[in-house]
Amino acid sequence: MGKRDDKFRRAEQKWDSWKMQEYSQHDRVLPKIIQDKALALPNQVVFQFGDNQISFEQLHVRTNQVAHGFRELGVGYGQHVALMLPNCAEHIDCWLGLNKLGAVDVPINVALRGNGLAYQIHHGDCVGLVADEDYLDHLDKIIGQLTHLRFVIVLRRQPGAARLPRWTNIDSLDYRDFVKRPEISLDVNVNFKDLSSILYTSGTTGPSKGVMISHHYWYQAAASSVNYARITEDDILYTPMPFFHSAARGMTILPAILADAKAVMVERFSASGMLDDVRRWDCSVANYIGGMISILMKQEPNERDGDNPLRLMVGGAAPAPLWQSFQQRYNTMLLELYGLTECLFNLVNPFDNRRPGSCGKPINGYRVKVVDDDDNDVPPGTVGEILVQPESMFLGTSGYYKMPEETLDLTRNFWFHTGDLARMDEEGYFYYADRKKQAIRRRGENISSFEVESVINEHDAVLECCVVGVPSELGEEDVKAVVVLKEGCSLDEVELISWCKTRMAYFSIPRYIAYRSSLPKTPSDRVEKYKLKDEGVTSDCWDLELAGIDLKK
């Protein structure tokens, strides 16, 4: 227990004596902050990719070279460039290098294909594209739709020259040649209100929306991360989250810069490899999404599980029943939060008074409340939509790019309408219920798919699951569960129903169960629920009613 207590005690002592350098409002500009860090701490390692380390001075030089390269290609102030890159140092260089020009990066989900891929690049008015060589085949198929595009820069991460496409009226350049540019800073005046990035939403309920993020908003989100996770210069942060995702940028990349810490980044989450990673690089803080917690708990127990340097894992949607057992097994703390790309990290569990199952309180410069369909406040304990309002200027998104009507709908009555459901208790703690459009309505009852999933995932034989509503012959919906079992395990449907009957209301118990080898997921490891919902009742669905099971007995 001495070793277990020591890493937490050291972190507490450091936090008590340490303070992050604050920037005035007008200096909350990413290029300015990078330059300041390079002058003050030139040799401090800020990023690590495998064995490749990048210091503040190197980051400053690399982003200067990229900025010069983009300017020579004609990228000007306020113009947009798409990045279709994996988690790599070049992704960060391009993002921040564009910002040094006053230009805007548009990171693209690398799993996109076809019209969905073309839509984001074209809708984002991107004049250029930086793409990994591995994605060129997908771009070849939609290049005719990218009428704004003037150039493409191709990154090849292996030795040798990149394969350059021959697209009509579009210049092609190898990334290695692109960065052979001056190392000096550019004389460009970037304002804290200027756009830094446009991040596209998943688009599960309609066309993807481009969330506009200013320099000031990125700064505020990152500063909040430093404060709520108590990150100091002694910390080494770890993320497997994709860089086109706001969590990786706001919870790892930028906090490492602001706190003079180091961030270790990998390409993707690996349940079997994550603990080895954090031991190898001595990581103290890691990001998660709820599914990762469940999957880690499904790993075969190892005597070394608790032997790791992690003091804290920060994220959202960790199943409440797993909190204590996860923390004990992996010798770490879970810090739950809630936020959207439009209004990052507006609820956080108070560090010294965390409640399992709660996504926290509004402690990060936002007002948060729960309302009914008419935007009226609901009493504590009542499920309603989460509404968020910034307490200071320039906090939160500047709106949806080229979507004024959707922006007005998002911010109607001067509150961000999140589309998420939750309840608040008497002491002001919030508890997430579901996406408003994913909640299931069955025979007059409202059902939280999130809560049903939490119960099913508790079963020892289950690796993960997804619960959706499907059309019912009686009107409204029935509940369908798509379940992935742990390797080597079996679970009879009747046994799973018996498990559910003692743990949830009878009307929430799935009528349909389908066992699958995997769930469809985004690169950020989120289940693509809409795909399972859209397929409806499939031939592999076991039907509780056909099996003659009476849920009320």
Domain boundaries, the chain: 30-190, 212-435, 440-543
* pLDDT band (50, 70, 90) for residue 434: confident
- Predicted confidence band at 4 (pLDDT cuts at 50, 70, 90)? low
Domain 212-435 has CATH 3.40.50.12780: yes
Q: Does 278 score more than 50 pLDDT?
A: yes
The mean pLDDT value for 250-275 works out to 96
Q: Determine which of 54-68, 121-135, 288-302, 375-389 has the lowest per-residue pLDDT on average.
A: 288-302
CATH numeric code, 440-543? 3.30.300.30
**CATH placement of domain 30-190:** 3.40.50.980
- pLDDT mean across residues, the chain: 93
For residue 448, the 8-state DSSP code is -
Q: What is the mean pLDDT of residues 310-330?
A: 93
Tell which residue, 550, 549, 553, has the closest CA to residue 493: 549
Mean pLDDT of 13-29: 96
Structure tokens at 124: 């984002």
Note every long-range contact of 36-41, with CB atoms under 8 Å and residues 24 or more positions apart, other chains counting: 37/257, 37/260, 41/260
Confidence of residue 552 (pLDDT cuts 50, 70, 90): low
Least confident residue range of 146-155, 186-195, 432-441: 432-441
3 pLDDT higher than 70 = no
Residue bearing the bigger pLDDT, 454 or 249:
249
Q: Is the pLDDT of residue 318 over 80?
A: yes
pLDDT value at 417 more than 70: yes
Residue 1 has pLDDT above 50, yes or no: no
Q: Is 376 helix (H, G, I), strand (E, B) or coil?
A: coil
Q: Is the pLDDT of residue 333 over 70?
A: yes
Percent of the chain exceeding pLDDT 90 equals 80
Q: pLDDT at residue 321 above 60?
A: yes
**Which residues share a beta bridge with 155?**
132
Output the furthest CA–CA distance in the chain (Å, rounded). Answer: 76
Residue 150 contacts residue 428 (beta carbons within 8 Å): no
- Model confidence pLDDT, tens digit, residues 477-508: 899 999 999 999 999 999 999 999 888 878 88
Quick check: do 30-190 and 212-435 share a fold?
Answer: yes
Mean pLDDT value of segment 457-461: 93
pLDDT(525) > 80: no
pLDDT value at position 258? 98
Residue 216 is predicted with a pLDDT of 97
- Is it the case that residue 341 has pLDDT exceeding 50? yes
Q: What percent of the chain has pLDDT over 70?
A: 97
CB under 8 Å, gap of 24 or more: what pairs does 159-162 form?
162/133
Encode pLDDT of 197-239 as tens digits: 999 986 544 578 999 999 999 999 999 999 999 999 999 999 9
Residue 140 phi, psi (nearest 5): -55, -35
Q: How many of the other CB atoms lie within 10 Å of CB of 213?
A: 25
pLDDT digits (tens, 9 = 90+) for 87-118: 999 999 999 999 999 999 999 988 888 888 89
What's the confidence (pLDDT) of residue 382? Answer: 94
Q: Is the pLDDT of residue 368 over 70?
A: yes
Instruction: Output the six-digit token pair for 299.
Output: 């790993």
Write down the pLDDT at residue 116. Answer: 83
Cα distance between residue 248 and residue 197, in whole Å: 14
pLDDT at 203: 54
Cα separation, 25 vs 65, whole angstroms: 27
Q: What is the pLDDT of residue 218?
A: 98
**Residue 314 to residue 349: CA distance in whole angstroms:** 10
130-189 per-position pLDDT tens digit: 999 999 999 999 999 999 999 999 999 988 999 999 999 999 999 999 999 999 999 999
> So what's the pLDDT on residue 459?
94
Mean pLDDT in residue range 22-48: 97
**Phi, psi angle pair for 248, to nearest 5°:** -65, -40
